[in-house]
């Protein structure tokens, strides 16, 4: 069986598929003589199997179809039959082989010959469930602290440890940067180290089995008594391992970063930082601070900038201060006020009721305060009724 390649890993050429992909290939038959095929059947299967505590299986793929039947093969040269099928659009767990179980996908082809025995052949193909690392939960930083007092009757002194990573999600092949601080107040020589661990969990018939091992590690320098050591971005390359498997009910593959301190004559002081290894790297996004810095084209974090120069520069980037609103005397002039009083005297002499000439529309209130200053509009002259 020859399968077409959908995608390939960086370290090999095995076919990789995901849910919804088209799996295509061909079956090559080499016969020493003429024969008649009753049927050529194709079976595609995929399942997660736990091989302990009685065994447990979770099926993901099951396809059974007949490619052809009643064909005659003359036996002159090899002949081939094409095969093609779609993977289901349901969630498929990534291919994985662990200590007590595996998640595997196979293509079986069965050749039923007339008057002869049945021939069977199979080929394994690999499925990967994509994990997008752009989700907000995988972009946040992870930190942990720990402390341990060592010595007889705890008279030696404490050893403290704090560790942090910038984000929780990574892809295989990326560089993991570790920020840590170790303070040794004991009388012993301690050694810090960190390791990337893979935790395999197998569930079957109510029982749980776990297996944890390190896939990458780095060791630091020895720290004498009364000293402190900092790790400012200690690099740890992530090897090409299986991504995190979180969608299977009986098999889980998780990762965590273990930062520990080896203390002679005592147990290790360690902290664990959970990780998720995915397949789709996170897309960097520009924040407002970075956009503001790029638009101003000024290195705000340059060491030559003093506090005074930085304050002056930021002040120059701010908009001009807004003008204060005009006073009432600027809106209503003295001439307009006299015309208004003169109109009121004429109304009183004519004995016209005030309701027929409302005065609240003669003198408008001051304009509303806004950032855009509008042109001053002259007020209308008062209207009087003369009998």
- Residues with Cβ < 8 Å from 330, sequence gap 6 or more? none
The per-residue pLDDT for range 334-348, each reduced to its tens digit, is: 776 676 666 555 445
pLDDT at 183 over 50: yes
Shortest CA distance to 94 belongs to which of 104, 86, 84, 85? 104
Q: What is the pLDDT of residue 55?
A: 85
Q: What pLDDT is attached to residue 238?
A: 94
In the chain, what are the domains? 2-127 (2.60.40.640), 136-277 (2.60.40.640), 331-387 (no CATH)
Q: Does residue 354 have a pLDDT over 50? A: no
Q: What is the dihedral of CA 287, 290, 293, 298, to 10 degrees?
A: 180
Would you state the structure tokens that stand for residue 140, as one six-digit string?
A: 């946040």
The predicted structure's pLDDT at residue 145: 94
For 300-318, write each residue's pLDDT tens digit.
334 433 444 555 555 555 5
Give the H or E element holding residue 253: strand 251-262
H/E run at residue 68? strand 56-68
3-12, 14-23, 277-286: the lowest-pLDDT one: 3-12
What pLDDT, on the 0 to 100 scale, is given for residue 1?
57
d(CA 313, CA 316): 5
What percent of the chain lies above the pLDDT cut of 70?
66
Say what the pLDDT of residue 127 is: 92
pLDDT score at 36: 75
Query: Distance between CA 191 and CA 180 in Å, rounded?
Result: 13
Instruction: Identify which of 80-94, 147-161, 168-182, 355-369 has the greatest average pLDDT.
Output: 168-182
Structure tokens at 219: 């060791």
pTM of the full predicted structure?
Answer: 0.67
Reduce the DSSP state of residue 312 to 3 states and report it. helix
Is 370 a residue whose pLDDT tops 70?
no
Beta bridge partners of 86: 22
Q: How confident is the model at residue 66 (pLDDT cuts 50, 70, 90)?
A: confident
Q: Pick 349 or 160 by higher pLDDT.
A: 160
Q: What is the mean pLDDT of residues 95-112?
A: 91
Tokens of 95: 């291919």
| Per-residue pLDDT, 253 | 96
Q: Give pLDDT, residue 39.
A: 81
Q: How far is CA 148 from the centre of its chain?
A: 34
What value does the mean pLDDT take over residues 119-139? 88
Residue 193 has pLDDT above 70, yes or no: yes
- 145 or 83, higher pLDDT: 145
Residue corresponding to tokens 């946040």: 140
Asked whether 195 and 258 are in contact (CB, 8 A), the reply is yes
Residue whose token pair is 């003198």: 363
Sequence-distant (≥ 6) Cβ neighbours of residue 154 within 8 angstroms: none
Asked if residue 142 lies in contact with residue 21, where contact means CB atoms within 8 angstroms, the answer is: no
What does the pLDDT read at residue 160? 94
Residue range 278-282: average pLDDT?
Answer: 87
Helix (H, G, I), strand (E, B) or coil at 50: strand
Using CA atoms, how far apart are residues 120 and 100, in angstroms rounded to an integer? 27
pLDDT in tens, 15-43: 688 888 888 888 887 777 777 777 888 89
Phi-psi region of 205 (alpha: psi -120 to 50; beta: other; left: phi over 0): left
Cβ–Cβ < 8 Å for 181, 162? yes
Indicate the pLDDT class of residue 332, thresholds 50, 70 and 90: low
pLDDT at 296: 39
3-class SS of residue 308: helix
Average pLDDT in the chain = 77
Q: What are the two backbone dihedrals, phi and then psi, of residue 356, each rounded to the nearest 5 degrees?
A: -75, -15
User: What is the per-residue pLDDT for 144?
Assistant: 95
Q: Do 232 and 179 contact (CB within 8 A), yes or no?
A: yes
Residue 31 tokens read as 């016969």
Q: Tens digits of per-residue pLDDT, 211-224?
A: 999 999 999 999 99
């Amino acid at each position: 069986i020859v399968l077409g390649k959908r995608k390939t890993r960086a370290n090999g050429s095995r076919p990789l598929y995901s849910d919804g992909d088209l799996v295509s290939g061909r079956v090559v038959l080499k016969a020493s003589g003429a024969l008649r095929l009753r049927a050529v059947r194709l079976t595609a299967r995929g399942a997660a199997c736990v091989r302990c505590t009685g065994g447990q299986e979770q099926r993901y793929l099951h396809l059974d179809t007949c490619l052809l039947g009643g064909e005659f093969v003359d036996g002159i040269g090899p002949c081939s039959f094409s095969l093609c099928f779609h993977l289901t659009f349901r969630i498929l767990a990534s291919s994985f082989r662990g200590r007590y179980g595996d998640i595997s996908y196979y293509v079986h082809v069965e050749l039923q010959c007339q008057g002869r025995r049945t021939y069977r052949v199979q080929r394994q193909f690999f499925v990967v469930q994509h994990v997008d690392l752009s989700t907000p939960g995988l972009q946040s930083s992870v930190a942990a602290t720990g402390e341990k007092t060592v010595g007889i009757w705890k008279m030696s002194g404490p050893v403290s440890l704090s560790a942090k990573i910038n984000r929780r999600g990574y892809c295989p092949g990326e560089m993991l940067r570790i920020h840590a601080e170790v303070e040794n107040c004991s009388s012993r020589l301690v050694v810090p180290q960190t390791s990337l661990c893979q935790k395999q969990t197998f569930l079957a018939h109510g029982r749980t089995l776990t297996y944890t091992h390190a896939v990458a590690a780095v060791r630091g320098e020895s720290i004498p008594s009364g000293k402190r050591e900092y790790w400012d971005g200690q690099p740890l390359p992530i090897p090409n391992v299986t991504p995190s498997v979180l969608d299977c009910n009986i098999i889980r593959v998780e990762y965590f970063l273990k930062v520990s301190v080896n203390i002679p004559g005592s147990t290790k002081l360690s902290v664990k930082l959970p990780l998720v290894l995915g397949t789709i790297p996170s897309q960097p996004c520009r924040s407002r601070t970075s956009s503001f810095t790029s638009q101003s084209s000024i290195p705000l974090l340059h060491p030559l900038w003093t506090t005074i120069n930085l304050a002056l520069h930021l002040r120059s980037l701010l908009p001009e201060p807004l003008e204060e609103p005009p006073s009432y005397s600027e809106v209503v002039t003295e001439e307009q006020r006299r015309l208004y009083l003169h109109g009121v005297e004429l109304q009183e002499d004519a004995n016209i009721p005030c309701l027929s000439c409302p005065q609240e529309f003669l003198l408008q209130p001051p304009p509303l305060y806004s950032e855009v200053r509008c042109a001053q509009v002259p007020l209308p002259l008062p209207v009087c009724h003369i009998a």
